[in-house]
Structure formats: structure tokens, C-alpha cells
Amino acid sequence: MNHFKTYTLLAGLTALFMGAGFLIGGATGMMIALVFALAMNAFSYWNADKIVLRTYGAVEVDESHPEPLIRNYVIDTVEMARSAGLPRPRITVIDSAQPNAFATGRDPDHAAVAASTGLLQLLTREEIRGVMAHELAHVKNRDTLVMTVTATIAGAISALANFAFFFGGSRDEEGNGGGLGGMIGAILIAILAPIAAMLVQMAISRAREYEADRIGAQIAGDSESLARALQKIEAYARGGYENVQAERNPATAHMFIINPLAGKGADNLFSTHPATHNRVEALMRLGVERGARRPVMAATTSSSVPLSGERGGPWS
């Protein structure tokens, strides 16, 4: 993600923040929102990764961990980071039955990756390598700053929009639009501001995911395992493995390798991820171009995904 797109994204989210501030307090409210947004941008740059990791209860792990699943996850991630020319990231685990993963941090020197317990339990070792290679690709591409700051500001926009709904119509006519007009505007911002924030996220997310898939396959040296992992994660996410923290913090959904939301309501309508079958097809083509001989598995459904005891991966 180049700097121009980064600044455009942050400017768009800041404008949304200012719009909600205007509906709450007129011109004064807009200026207060601007100052607050600038402060939040600065704070997010330095601390958003810590906020996200804390939100998901991420626990840092290393090679000395007694659990073989976690130990191998650490070893493989460190090895792939080294081969990709990246500094060693902080390696963490989040307690969630849904298999998923994300990366965060303002730059490669301050990066962290997170894998869920479900990912480590339900996928094979090769598939986990593919997923973590994808996350390291985000680090290598410096996507993580945009992903993390966007999650923080988009969440704040939703909160401010709700505040505008409850208090936006309370100004009198001398206060720049009270009464019925102010209430209508507050209702509109409460509905439209979160949607606009999601659209801004979507505008940069899809191409970023395809690129991370491509580079991740190169880092892992295996496009097939990443393709299988994407299909399994998609099936598990839709098959009753709810990510409770993601449902409570939907502004962070774009950070995960697969949309962690259950697909209720408008979750699918405003998904920040490209369709999984399109990503798998792109990886299949990449595998053919690289001379892969084994076919990528057919599309999986939740009923056909093996249970954790059947994964058959080399986890001895």
C-alpha cells in the first residue's frame, strides 16, 4: 500500500469523523472532532497494534512452549520470516475456536502475527504455514499499518455515529440545525457513517488480499496449502465457529485472512474480503505457473470439512 493511498484512506475516515462531529455540535463540534481525529491518528500509529492484540486477548508465545502445535507454529513462522528477509515478529495466539489469523504493527520492525487456537487445531501444519506466510506478506507489503489504524478509526466512527443519533437533534436553530432537521441528519449519519467507513475499507482491501496470497505462496513455497487453508477457514467460519470478539468489534474484520463475521445481516453485503473461490482460483493458476503437479482440493462445505481429530497433519 503506497503512501498516497494510506493518506487518502485516513483523510476519508477523518472527514467522516468530522461530519459526525458537525451533526452533534455544529461548526464547533466539527472542529473538536477534527482535533480528536488527528490525535487519534497519531495515537493509532503508535498504539493501535497493542489495542487490537489486547482486544483479542493475544498471548505471546515462543519456541519453548510445551504444546507441540504452538511450538511448531512458532518455529515455522520464524523460519519463513527469516527467509523473507523480515525481522522476527511477535508471535501470538488468540483463544478462538474459529480458525483464523491476522497481522498487525506499524512496520516490519514492530510487527505481530496472531493465530487462533482453532487454526492450530483444525488445519494441517502445511496449511498453517500457508496462512502465516500470507500474514507475513502483509508485513512485508507494509499493509499492517493501514489495516490496524483503519480498524481503530472505523470503530470510533461507529461509536460517534451512535452518539450523533442520540444527541445530534438536541441543538436549537441558533446552534446550526437543531430540531427535526438535526434529528434527521443525526439518523442519517448514524446509518450512513459506519457504512461509508466499511466502503473505504473495502476500497483497498481486495487487491491487498490477492497480493498477500501471491507473495504468501512464494514465502511458503506452496500455493496449494494456502488455497486449502482458505477453503477450510471459510467453511468453519460459516459452519458455527463464531469469533465472539470479532462480532463485538466488526471494524477489525478486514484484518483477518478470511472474514471472521458470521454473515448475518449486512456482514456479507459489505464484506472487506474478496470471494474465497476467486482467491483459490488465483492460487490454482499460480500453482500451475509454478509447475505444481497436485490439484488444489475442490471447494469445501462445512459438512465436508474434517474434524480436528481427522486433520491428519504431521503434528507428531
Q: What percent of the chain has pLDDT over 70?
A: 66
Mean pLDDT of the 93-103 span:
96
How far apart (Å, rounded) are the C-alpha atoms in residues 101 and 90?
Answer: 13
Note whether residue 189 is domain-resident: no
pLDDT exceeds cutoff 90 at 29: no
pLDDT at residue 225 in the model: 96
Note whether residue 150 is domain-resident: yes
How far apart (Å, rounded) are the C-alpha atoms in residues 163 and 181?
Answer: 16
Range of the domain at 292: 51-158+194-302
pLDDT at residue 299 in the model: 41
End-to-end CA distance of the chain: 39
pLDDT exceeds cutoff 80 at 231: yes
- Rg of the chain's alpha carbons, rounded to an integer? 21
- For residue range 209-230, list pLDDT tens digits in order: 999 999 999 999 999 999 999 9
Note whether residue 180 is domain-resident: no
Active centre residues (catalytic): 135
Provide the domain count of the chain. Answer: 1
Amino acid, single-letter form, for residue 224 = E
Mean pLDDT of the 25-46 span:
77
What number of other Cβ atoms are within 10 A of residue 166's Cβ?
11
If you average pLDDT over every residue of the chain, what do you get?
78
Q: Are 34 and 18 in contact (CB under 8 A)?
A: yes
Entry field: residues in the chain: 316
Residue 82 maps to which CATH number? Answer: 3.30.2010.10
Note whether residue 96 is domain-resident: yes
pLDDT at residue 306 in the model: 41
CA dihedral (204, 201, 275, 210) in degrees, to 10, reads 30
Note whether residue 79 is domain-resident: yes
pTM listed for this prediction: 0.75
Note whether residue 67 is domain-resident: yes
Q: Are 106 and 50 in contact (CB under 8 A)?
A: no
Note whether residue 77 is domain-resident: yes
> Which of 2-16, 42-56, 278-292 bottoms out in mean pLDDT, i.e. has the lowest?
2-16
Task: Tell me the three state secondary structure of residue 115.
Answer: strand
The confidence band for 313, taking pLDDT boundaries of 50, 70 and 90, is: very low
How far apart (Å, rounded) are the C-alpha atoms in residues 1 and 163?
Answer: 32
Write down the residue that cell numbers 437543531 correspond to.
178
Mean pLDDT of the 237-249 span:
84
Residue of 120, 103, 291, 92 lying closest to 208 (CA atoms): 103
Note whether residue 3 is domain-resident: no
- For residue range 39-50, list pLDDT tens digits in order: 777 777 788 789
For residues 27 and 181, which has the higher predicted lDDT (pLDDT)? 27
pLDDT exceeds cutoff 60 at 182: no
